[in-house]
Structure 1
């Protein structure tokens, strides 16, 4: 390089795509943080509900002791999973609002659902129906967050750090979990268990975060890709210029706008009809789009039934199952579990997802998760009385193995944060063409919450002894381990690498026959990239030559 200057190395990127330094500016990071905060919606709920439900005051609030043991199990599962039921509807609804009113207004209306639902949950007089209704309405807002935020973040992020930007959303999931766990722990220690404040104060985190996100939305710019899709090209150029911190006529802005317009025009030319029906046809009748739908849906099924999500929801119960006794100790161990997940999410966002790529990070996470699940399953097989025999006291000789199982819960959380939990949002947000992105993401997230509901609803019953209709704790973890292993094999053969690729070039990953895409799609796409780059260079060279000739002719005439 001229003058002996060294090419800068960026440890946060797999590929240096030559972006101007102005692109990585405070406006981009402010938008990333503002929309990433929506990840806290799921995290807060997953972290709060188990601790709140285990509060004696909350149990008195809903007259829990008046029900039989089976009814109590069902009530606990229903209250815990009611947000997931609402989220199924919210994820479907997000497709309509994202494409009709844009990403910014979609954010504002989901915050209102979220606040109203939390208020009903806290403000009724212990009526179980009202508790269900409040959590369902909150779910209508929470369910939209996993569509609106990842789509917006993927659409505004520069290609080289799109994984980092989108994984900020995942990081806030765990920040929400940590805040919720420690709020439960702090209120338990300092307020005791004889007041509504014990569970209402932590639950108010829902209102705080929803209100903060609502206010921040007024300082954000609408997605340029959405604006181009809705025909507002001038506004798209203006917004992209501001987000990139570059003049509207800068080469980088002009090239990005041109690429978005070209890709959208190609999608429109290949359209199978105007309106929602045409978009649905394109989603399922174009083979490359259908394969992407298959990837997104399978990722949701395999990730949710790998068991890590239910460990987050029922962490306090599972730590108790593995030998952690005492209410305060249990809540503290659970809170530390949240910190472990948060650290893993930060490491993944900064040093893995854009550095070693999506696929490697996912496989590393799945491997750690599988090791954890099989160890816990083996421990519970060796000590089958755990969680089955009432008031069972763990023998001194088994305490080391019990501590190992507790450590494996932490390891499973670490692997989940590195792998499935980051990728189920990132891959879904970046795989699809602009015209079908909102619909495809909504479909994937609808299945996400349907599976999360099924998992959250099923796990309390799965943990019951076989004599009571369950499959026992050991059977539950063997099941999780097998599903995790199947997921790893599926990822190896099915998912191509998407790191460092622009949203408009994703189509090149899916040109091969479906059974070759996972193994060879990235290599084939890079070869196609070279051909495209050579054509672009040739066109640029011809354009430069013609402009030079024109200038010479003009000079001669003068």
Structure 2
């Protein structure tokens, strides 16, 4: 069976129940917002009606490219700060409330974009707000899933997050193709449709969040023992006095012992003393031997995930990438949709059936090599054939055949990336950090993700205009660097427990608040 793994022979089968799967699916659905907004906007801003309404039609090519890059990049900027603010929000008020607040902010941003008429400032404001919402979701959702998941299926449940992303991305890739086939692309209502579609997945998420429970870990950190026990028994489908429940509660209490001690400091010396002690404890952890190398690894994973060129294709496939290899706008829109569908299929197959069998390193290495070859071919084809220099319908047969191979290279790149660096970056970053600082590190890696997405979104149109084929050679070079990074710095993590992972990265579990503990004894 697909969900057949168990922790041990003594693990009660009741814990693998529909409640925990529905909870994980509900929270993972937040990635659908991320996927849709990462894919639909690049095609939407090329629609004639959008260009006319916001005064882009008559602009010089360089200025139009800069405006398009700004519209896309403000989303990443908002997401960066959304991830930054997500940590204190979910640590102070809870993972569930953080997700609800983020979804409300997203909905407001989607409404602003939908009702905009000729004022592009509303588009910018809406993009910033949906970015803030998505940034917080990318920080809080993986933590939520990790905290409610039984250990044996945690990897699969985190995989739901990536699958939800791909579902949103597929819809985003295809929606504008459908509009161009069946709607008047010069009409204002046409570009409003993909803007308004944002309200569907966000509305579904907002409503469904009312039906899930806060994570037991957060509730125990807040001293709400009864609520935590109620949540845990609901998720595990076991009575409160069951040995499995008692052991899990004891394990959680052990993991949050430092926070409990700090809460005592808050009661004695006030909230500011707690605040300073709390952040000092986090600083001690993230700068410790065996932790700082993992922080660097998380930074590298998110950097290479973006710098190998995938988000350049996501955001600018139709407007920049496919036109660079000589395709018409209609063909570019169709192939953009196919590209998204192939990525989704590859993600479902890899994350659903292969990730826990083939491990982490082999897909990263093989996928990186395949992506590099695809990018180098694209650069070589454009450099040698100059497909954009020919009039429409006048391409020589050799250039046409080379272009067909270039389209295949883009598709192969998408599938190879989806089965390697795309989902594995999130999985690795969710499993390498100690539980005591996992929430903070989730926000940190999400901020790294959005920082490099911003760089790509802002730089791709100017790079395409100035570098031409060189842009693909640059992405190919980053693919090579990603392979070297994986070869030298990423160990195989499949099947490792937290204790073995700490030993692997050279971490000894020191206690940042050891002095405080001694005083309490």
Q: Same fold (TM over 0.5)?
A: yes
Superposed, 1:257-272 pairs within 5 Å as 257-265=249-257
1:512 shift after superposition: 6.6
Residue 15 of structure 1 and its aligned partner are, at CA, apart by 8.1
* Residue 545 (structure 1) aligns with: none
| 1:255 equivalent in alignment to 2:259 | no
Counterpart pick for 1:55 among 47, 50, 53:
47
Query: Separation in 1 of the partners of 2:4 and 2:294?
Result: 24
2:517 is matched with none
Please say if residues 31 and 137 of structure 2, whose CA atoms lie closer than 8 Å, have aligned partners that are also in contact: yes
The 3 A distance-change label for structure 1 pair 493 and 141 is: same
Q: 1:393: Cα distance to partner?
A: 4.5
- Aligned with 1:322 (options 305, 309, 325): 325
Tell me which residue corresponds to 1:531.
Answer: none
Shift of residue 391, structure 1, vs aligned partner: 6.2
Matches within 5 A, 1:326-345: 326-327=329-330, 329-345=331-347
Counterpart Cα distance in 2 of 1:133 and 1:302: 29
When the two structures are superposed, what TM-score results if normalisation uses the length of structure 2?
0.89
CA distance in 1, matches of 2:380, 2:493: 36
Q: Determine if contact 1:98/1:106 at 8 Å carries over to the other structure.
A: yes
- Mapping of 1:129-140 within 5 angstroms? 129-140=121-132
Is 2:26 the counterpart of 1:37?
no
Structure 2 equivalent of residue 71 of structure 1: 63
Alignment partner, residue 301 of structure 2: 299
Residue number in structure 2 paired with 1:87? 79
Counterpart CA distance in 2 for 1:225 and 1:16 is 20
The 2-side partners of 1:23 and 1:41 are apart by: 29
Q: Secondary structure at the match of 2:256?
A: helix
1:497 is aligned to 492
Map 1:274-289; keep pairs closer than 5 Å: 274-275=274-275, 276-289=278-291
Q: Deviations over 1:254-274 (max 9, x none)?
A: 222222222333687899994
Which of 108, 119, 134 is the matching residue for 1:116? 108
Q: Could you tell me how far apart the structure 2 residues matched to 1:251 and 1:493 are?
A: 43
Q: TM-score of the superposition, structure 1-length normalised?
A: 0.83
Distance in 2 (CA, whole Å) between partners of 1:212 and 1:302 is 32
Q: 3-state SS of the aligned residue for 1:353?
A: helix
Q: Secondary structure at the match of 1:314?
A: helix
Gaps of 5+ in 1: 1-9, 465-469, 514-558
1:389 positional shift: 7.2
Q: How many residues align?
A: 497
SS in 2 for 1:478: helix
Query: 1:164 is matched with which residue?
Result: 156
* Residue ranges of structure 2 left out of the alignment (5+ in a row): 266-272, 509-521
**Do residues 485 (structure 1) and 480 (structure 2) align?**
yes
How far is the alpha carbon of 1:238 from its aligned partner? 2.3
Deviation at 1:506, TM superposition (A): 4.2
Which residue number corresponds to residue 236 of structure 1?
228
1:360-375 alignment, distance < 5 Å:
360-375=362-377
Rg (Cα) greater in structure: 1
Aligned with residue 360 of structure 2, among 358, 361, 385: 358
SS of residue paired to 1:204: helix
Of 346-355 and 211-220, the range deviating more from structure 2: 346-355
Q: Could you tell me which of 133, 140, 145 is aligned with 2:137?
A: 145
**C-alpha spacing 1:432/1:227, structure 2 compared with 1 (3 Å):** farther
Equivalent pair of 2:76/2:450 in contact (CA under 8 Å): yes
